[in-house]
Structure 1
């Protein structure tokens, strides 16, 4: 962890504007997302303003057109009817259901925030297939400070700093930060209510769950998109040097466990 990212909120410019990407967990994560959308749609997708949702979909589709892993599937009439993902699954292009389509196309969870009446952005819906101990149902409609109420470090000064970053964000200049937590359970879908305690035992095998979080502004609607790309690695899978470095970081600062 560098000094620039250690100081909260620790945002940095996104290199080359690449706020979406896929990694070697793509096939496994997308299979889980397909199941969650099919079986738990109400829990993983919350309605967002139509204009912002469609604008976000078009932005994602533009990026995917530059990724050779995604291939168009043509209809008999010559229109693009679906996209074939890199794992070979064909996803129908249902443009009338943009959030469901997005949830099945990319690994990232995508949350839409809009300006609230008191100058603070409010979570206005989106996709959350891989929650790290929170729920869309409890957080949607709340301003950022209320969303982060359980986070001790997110005080009034932090809220002002975050809002200043958001207010000055340009559509062509997304930013990123990282968040990391420890879990004994490697399940990616782990919703919890705000007061619910996440069980964790440090002397049992555990996983490091890292969220690569991006913030970008949609140029037409002005809505913000908060993206979360989740990585996960077992501590036992790290090299001796990596474990030593991680243990040193854990000794320096309290790691949030919820």
Structure 2
């Protein structure tokens, strides 16, 4: 399969931030498209057709939140005519309100995770997601899990970071989204890269990698259902393009995965 690559990235991915590394995000900027939109959308449609059980999961109780999320994405600039979205690539996609995450997977470049906090629970739980481009994790293992379990086996996600992230999810307000990014060096540019949390990971330096994979992650509160949405916009760039735009790596993510 031909690699789907971007050639530029709108932030410096080599300027690492300590976890959780969040900053305010303008509400109008939480949904983005870039030059790889058409190719990534085509890959998302293929994955939803061929691997739906691996890239989409949702509790029935999460339907109201997923419906509200679809409404917000449509309001963020999509062209809707007669119950269908006219995508940027010219394709017409019928909206299925009984399958809002499936519809989202076919019209938005981002992946979306829905996290809800049941009464009495100390943590938010992953109740639904359309995750076509997993970066070395598996939706089946994280579905219906709390935040701490979702972040296994991230070494730097200790008890202190876990508490800070939970406070962040508790505190994020409607209309005031947040964002952060990560950056890891990869040998393989494939977008769909699931990996079990028990699978061994390589730990090599960025000098050996051919590609940089970075996720722009947004966190926002849905005003009606109060669910928290974690969106993921994935960019994969050839090493030469990263160096051309941002110079030599000083503090980029060091893992080669």
- What is the rounded CA distance, in whole Å, between the counterparts of 2:226 and 2:232 in structure 1? 19
Quote the residue 2:105 is aligned against. 103
TM-score (norm 1): 0.86
Deviation at 1:182, TM superposition (A): 1.0
Whose Rg is larger?
A: 1
Unaligned stretches of 5+ residues in structure 2: 1-11
Deviations 1:129-183 (A, max 9, x none): 0000111111011111111121111111101111111111111101000011111
Change beyond 3 A, Cα 1:174–1:223: same
Deviation at 1:198, TM superposition (A): 4.6
Change beyond 3 A, Cα 1:225–1:241: closer
Q: Are 2:75 and 1:62 equivalent residues in the alignment?
A: yes
Unaligned stretches of 5+ residues in structure 1: 66-70, 74-79
Deviations 1:11-62 (A, max 9, x none): 0010244211101110110010010011111110001411111111111111
Deviation at 1:197, TM superposition (A): 2.9
How many pairs does the alignment contain?
A: 241
Quote the residue 2:217 is aligned against. 213
For residue 95 of structure 1, give the secondary structure of its aligned residue in structure 2. coil
TM-score (norm 2): 0.87
- What is the rounded CA distance, in whole Å, between the counterparts of 2:152 and 2:83 in structure 1? 43
For residue 102 of structure 1, give the secondary structure of its aligned residue in structure 2. helix
More contact order relative to length (CA 8 Å, sep ≥ 6)? 2
Deviations 1:92-139 (A, max 9, x none): 112221010000010000000011443111111111000001111110
Quote the residue 1:24 is aligned against. 35
- Given that 2:185 and 2:209 are in contact with CA atoms closer than 8 Å, whether structure 1 keeps it comes out as no
Quote the residue 2:182 is aligned against. 179
- Given that 2:127 and 2:143 are in contact with CA atoms closer than 8 Å, whether structure 1 keeps it comes out as yes
Deviation at 1:6, TM superposition (A): 1.4
Deviations 1:196-222 (A, max 9, x none): 135676565510000000110111111
Q: Are 2:117 and 1:115 equivalent residues in the alignment?
A: yes
- What is the rounded CA distance, in whole Å, between the counterparts of 2:242 and 2:30 in structure 1? 26
Q: Which piece of structure 1 moves more, 142-151 or 9-18?
A: 9-18
Q: Which runs of 4+ in 1 moved over 4 A?
A: 198-205
Q: CA RMSD in A?
A: 2.1
Q: Are 2:104 and 1:93 equivalent residues in the alignment?
A: no
Quote the residue 1:50 is aligned against. 63
Quote the residue 2:6 is aligned against. none
- Given that 2:87 and 2:93 are in contact with CA atoms closer than 8 Å, whether structure 1 keeps it comes out as yes
Query: What does 1:102-181 align with in structure 2 at a 5 Å threshold?
Result: 102-116=104-118, 117-181=120-184
